[in-house]
Amino acid sequence: MFNRLSRRHFAKIAGWSALGLSTKSASGQTPSGTQAGPSNRGQPSSFPGHFLWGTATSAYQIEGAVNEDGRGPSIWDRFAHIDGKISDHSTADVANDHFHRYKEDVQLIKALGAKAYRFSIAWPRVFPEGTGAPNPKGLDFYNRLLDELLANGIEPFATLYHWDLPQSLQDRFGGWRSRETSKAFADYAAYVAERLSDRVKDIFTINECSRLVYSGYGAGIDAPGLSLPPQELNQVMHNVALGHGLAVQAVRAHGRAGTKVGPAENLVVCIPAIETPANIRATEIATRELNAGYLTAILEGKYTDGFLAYAGKNAPTYTAEDLKIISSPIDFVGLNIYLPHHYVVAADNAAGFSLLPFPKSFPHMESDWLKIGPEAMYWAPRQVAKLWNVKSIYITENGASASDQPVADGNVYDLDRIMYLRNYLTQLQRATSEGVPVLGYFLWSLMDNFEWADGFEKRFGLYRVDFNTQRRTPKLSASFYREIIERNMVV
């Protein structure tokens, strides 16, 4: 329920540009079969030869051990302990106990044949107070994890911030309401880059700026659970984007040569309702406008005229220097793609597009926000490549919740998840075969975990987790994914 509300809220806010605004698109190349880019070798339905297959998790959702080795409290510890915030009344104090079981979990990744793993670093393990004295014991967990991954031939991709803000920053500065948090984030990023970039070559700054802002500070259904008025909310948005930019600079300044850095954003995904040239063009305009506060700002170094006109007196306060920082050059764009947010048609209005309403019968997965629109996986990276001439894209998350009940033989035959993945991956293959520069795909998630306000009620894993015994069991989708990885094609 909580997530349904959050996604709706987000879609509502994201729909502002349909109100009739003038738009102008950045130029870029049209992905096409003839364009230079990764080419498919082997069978026509295969992915590029160097395509990287992986899975994804995040620290608070799996680690547990919230009080071990000097970790400080995070806003999610505080939030999950407030009665009524998590639908099954759980917390992630233990979660998957990954902190103690990481070696076993690395073997789960290896068993899939995956060559990459996206995980996040818990800021409060590394800086228990968010700033000040670092906690080397906290960082050591990630040293151990990295060594284990590399010893097993798995390339680590680290996210610096997946929502577990040190509580102290919330108490002292109001969290992302203050630029102090953006600056503290850069210091933390510098520290991590300096110490871990000998082994982590690819770093994501912030996971889903837009969700952390709207669900955490707007709808109040994610930590820290605030519902701020529009101007303050826009300021949070700006401070988060600024934090991203400062972290990019910090990684560049303190990471080893060759360290790559970029965002992992949940783009508002716009799809042409019918694939006509006019609708495709209108959809690109919509994508640029509906992502104005995040990806558009990061890639263009400005807030669009449409966004500023809509925000009016509620626009954030910022300087030209801020925008330069926000748009610091990045090495790749990470996209979390789960659902189609809007189906679009060209329209004879000031915006140039209209967003169609969803019929009540539109299909969704176990989480009712998770609409099934596989073409999202084709159009989103294609638009990002074209609108902003982006040359390297990772799908940093994609996956589905399912009911996942074991049957009499003890197995989970998650045919619905397989159906979802097969369709999305077919669309991804369509994109790569046309030259859209997607370099890799991280499936959410390696295993069932603490799904934020849904607690343990929603399951996204390739491995089922029994949270009483911590036993991990592969679902049918794990075999399906292993087959895809092995053959480098959708099966």
Q: Which residues bind ligand BG6 (CB under 6 A)?
A: 3, 58, 207-208, 211, 266, 336, 367, 397, 444, 451-452, 454, 458
Q: Count of CB atoms within 10 A of residue 328's CB?
A: 18
Least separation in angstroms between CB 212 and ligand BG6: 9
Measuring CA to CA, which residue among 389, 303, 286, 282 is closest to residue 341? 286
Nearer to ligand BG6, 5 or 315 (CB): 5
* Candidates 63, 208, 289, 451; catalytic one: 208
Least CB distance to ligand BG6 at residue 301 (A):
25
* Minimum distance from residue 193 beta carbon to ligand BG6 (Å): 22
- Cis? peptide before 445, omega within 30° of 0: yes
- State phi, psi for 396 to the nearest 5 degrees: -85, -20
Give least dist CB 224 to ligand BG6, A.
Answer: 16
Cis bond upstream, residue 316 (ω within 30):
no
Q: Is 451 a catalytic residue?
A: no
Give catalytic status of residue 284 as yes or no. no
CB 401 within 8 A of CB 460: yes
165 near 74, Cβ under 8 Å?
yes
Cβ of residue 455: shortest distance to ligand BG6, in angstroms? 9
The 8-class DSSP code of residue 336 comes to E
Alpha helices in 333-462 (DSSP H): 376-388, 415-433
3-state secondary structure (DSSP) of residue 63: coil
Spatial separation of the C-alpha atoms in residues 212 and 222, rounded to whole Å: 7
**In this structure, what are the phi and psi dihedrals at residue 158, rounded to the nearest 5 degrees?**
-105, 135
Q: Which C-beta is closer to ligand BG6: that of 239 or that of 367?
A: 367
- Residue number of the CB closest to ligand BG6 reads 451
Nearer to ligand BG6, 112 or 365 (CB): 365
Smaller CB separation from ligand BG6, 134 or 156: 156
Q: Which residues, in sequence order, are CB contacts of 373 under 8 Å at separation 6+?
A: 269, 271, 339, 340, 343
Please check whether residue 251 is in contact with residue 329, taking contact to mean a CB–CB distance below 8 angstroms: no
Catalytic-role residue among 63, 284, 397, 434: 397
Residue 57 φ/ψ, nearest 5 degrees: -150, 180
Map residue 114 onto helix, strand or coil: coil
E-strand spans in 208-295?
260-265, 270-272
Residue 111's CB is within 10 A of a number of other CB atoms, namely: 13
Residue 153 Cβ vs ligand BG6, minimum distance, rounded to whole Å? 26
**Is residue 194 within a helix (H) or strand (E), and if so which, with residue range?**
helix 179-196
Tokens representing residue 41 in the block: 């070798």
* Residue 341 vs 386, nearer CB to ligand BG6: 341
Q: Which residue, 58 or 427, has its beta carbon nearer to ligand BG6?
A: 58
Contact 70, 138 (CB under 8 A): yes
Residue partners of 78: CB distance under 8 A and separation at least 6: 167, 170, 223, 224
Q: At its nearest, how many Å lie between ligand BG6 and the CB of residue 458?
A: 5
Pairing of strands 52-56, 260-265: unpaired
Between 96 and 266, CB nearer to ligand BG6: 266
Smaller CB separation from ligand BG6, 58 or 304? 58
Dump strand ranges (E) for 57-129: 116-120
Q: For the CB of residue 376, give the shortest distance to ligand BG6 in the complex, in Å.
A: 14
Distance between first and last Cα of the chain: 34
Residue numbers annotated as active site: 208, 397
